[in-house]
Amino acid sequence: MTFDTADTDNRTVTSQYDEYVMPIWKSLNVPVERASDCTLEDFDGNTYLDLFSGISVTNAGHNNSAVVEAAQDQLEEFVHGCSYVHPNAPVGELAERLAEITPGDLQKTFFCNSGTEAVEGAVKLARKHTGNTEVIALEMAFHGRTLGSLALTGNKAYKKDMAPTINDVSHTPAPYAYRCRTCDGSCSNDCADELEHIIGTHTSDDIAAVVVEPIMGEGGIIVPPEGWLERVSEIVHDHGGLLILDEVQSGYGRTGELFATEHFDVEPDIMAQAKGIANGMPLGAFTAPADVADSFESGDHLSTFGGNPVACAAALATIDELQGGLVDNAREQGEWLSSRLADLESSFDVVGDARGLGLMQGIELVDPDDTGPMGVAPAPDKKLATAVADRLREAGVVIGVGGYYGNVMRFQPPLSIDREQLETGVDALEEALEAEVADA
């Protein structure tokens, strides 16, 4: 039997979801029958410009032919043998490639299936290596939904009804300049020094790790001020811990460098990866220098599906595509996008802040007549962000909405996007903002 969708329409799929899929799916109201490059097509034949890449995953473009071909070739060889029981070439080659392309001395990789597993595995490795248990993450961070990563995630919205998670986790302020509570946006990096205070007051000083997204994704596309990550790295090392950088969302070309870490003068002790690594095939990974990685002993960690050979073959082709011009395109288009979003910030009172790097950018929508939490910056306007996204969808453009306050419009398109497509997206955003402001 082949999978035939000829008689399926949008209504069929959404009603199947309503009846048979657990009620946790967050709909953008765009069912997808097929996708290519930056275009999604639904079951009723409508097409959409995709500015969100399935939450920042299809970095090499939907259905990239080189990636599809690499996966198909491996499918014909074999699909599964458990990569920890049967050594195979895609895993070996990908691990060697990651040692070449990841920052600093990162050398040995553990492969899993998702971002949350990559983060939790990284924490286990840090605990094993340091002999310590305590972990610190950032307020407003997002690291996943399984109980370990959820403990690190700094947002009650994801934790409601789910406690208790794992113990020994504390949080330190995020480097959120626009809504900074510690240095009035002057970015003196007091919020980095706050980590020292958190270690002193919340922990016994037996630090296993500090876990940081170099650029925060779900928190609202937050780029730290100059020197912040360097200071955090210094503090965690002073206390005998490891710096775990979560590049699940910011990695694989998204910010105009292969890894966002490259924008900063730091080297991670462990780096978590997923999302863009295999352009949509399920794959996660964490990579560490040999001396850290070798702390794991046989039996300390394993995954039945982790390092699936088809996903690893797709990852190798994805990296070729990224290095073959897509990272450069992300940087180039990102510069243009920054200036257009900065123009929107100047033209609209409701655009409080425009920020990001490469093709990981966002604008924060606000109510200019109301003050934000703790008297800092104008109030976040989540309702406006949702309304603008709805208008964009009606205009055939899919965009992300997120951020701690739910008011950030997120531009995270496939890195293959061209100027004309990007212009179409920004023009549509501008029109939607004009329409919403006029209706207010």
Ligand X SMILES: Cc1ncc(COP(=O)(O)O)c(C=O)c1O
Binding site for ligand X (CB under 6 A): 55, 114-116, 119, 142-144, 213, 217-218, 246, 248-249, 274
Q: Report the C-alpha gap between 11 and 108 in whole angstroms.
A: 47
- We find the least distance from the C-beta atom of residue 428 to ligand X, in angstroms, to be 25
- We find the least distance from the C-beta atom of residue 395 to ligand X, in angstroms, to be 26
Q: 166 vs 344, which CB is nearer to ligand X?
A: 166
Q: 39 vs 114, which CB is nearer to ligand X?
A: 114
Q: Count the helices and strands in the chain (H runs, E runs).
A: 14, 16
At a CB cut-off of 8 Å and minimum separation 6, what does 368 contact? 349, 350, 352, 378
**Contact status, residue 307 vs residue 120, Cβ threshold 8 Å:** no
Phi, psi of 371 (to 5 degrees): -95, 145
**Contact status, residue 67 vs residue 414, Cβ threshold 8 Å:** no
Q: What is the dihedral of CA 254, 257, 263, 269, to 10 degrees?
A: 90
Q: Report the C-alpha gap between 195 and 169 in whole angstroms.
A: 13
Q: 221 vs 317, which CB is nearer to ligand X?
A: 221
Q: 94 vs 433, which CB is nearer to ligand X?
A: 94
**Contact status, residue 344 vs residue 354, Cβ threshold 8 Å:** yes
Q: 268 vs 378, which CB is nearer to ligand X?
A: 268
- We find the least distance from the C-beta atom of residue 127 to ligand X, in angstroms, to be 18
**Contact status, residue 190 vs residue 378, Cβ threshold 8 Å:** no
Q: Report the C-alpha gap between 174 and 28 in whole angstroms.
A: 28
Q: Report the C-alpha gap between 342 and 36 in whole angstroms.
A: 30
Pairing status of strand 39-41 against strand 47-50 = antiparallel
- We find the least distance from the C-beta atom of residue 72 to ligand X, in angstroms, to be 24
- We find the least distance from the C-beta atom of residue 199 to ligand X, in angstroms, to be 22
- Look at residue 417 and give its three-state secondary structure: coil
- We find the least distance from the C-beta atom of residue 379 to ligand X, in angstroms, to be 25
Q: Name beta bridge partners: 89.
A: none
- We find the least distance from the C-beta atom of residue 420 to ligand X, in angstroms, to be 29
- We find the least distance from the C-beta atom of residue 429 to ligand X, in angstroms, to be 22
Residue 395 CB neighbour total at 10 angstroms: 17
Structure tokens at 69: 């071909």
- We find the least distance from the C-beta atom of residue 54 to ligand X, in angstroms, to be 11
- We find the least distance from the C-beta atom of residue 436 to ligand X, in angstroms, to be 27
Q: Report the C-alpha gap between 261 and 186 in whole angstroms.
A: 23
**Residue 370, CA distances (Å) to 349, 350, 376 in order:** 12, 11, 10
Residue with token string 């690499």: 70
Residue of this chain nearest to ligand X (CB atom)? 115
Q: 71 vs 222, which CB is nearer to ligand X?
A: 222
- Look at residue 357 and give its three-state secondary structure: strand
Q: Report the C-alpha gap between 285 and 257 in whole angstroms.
A: 18
Q: 120 vs 321, which CB is nearer to ligand X?
A: 120
Strands (E), 256-350: 270-273, 284-288
Cα 433 versus chain centre, distance: 26
Q: 124 vs 340, which CB is nearer to ligand X?
A: 124
Q: 52 vs 348, which CB is nearer to ligand X?
A: 52
Q: Report the C-alpha gap between 279 and 425 in whole angstroms.
A: 22
Q: 51 vs 351, which CB is nearer to ligand X?
A: 51
Q: 40 vs 244, which CB is nearer to ligand X?
A: 244
- We find the least distance from the C-beta atom of residue 40 to ligand X, in angstroms, to be 19
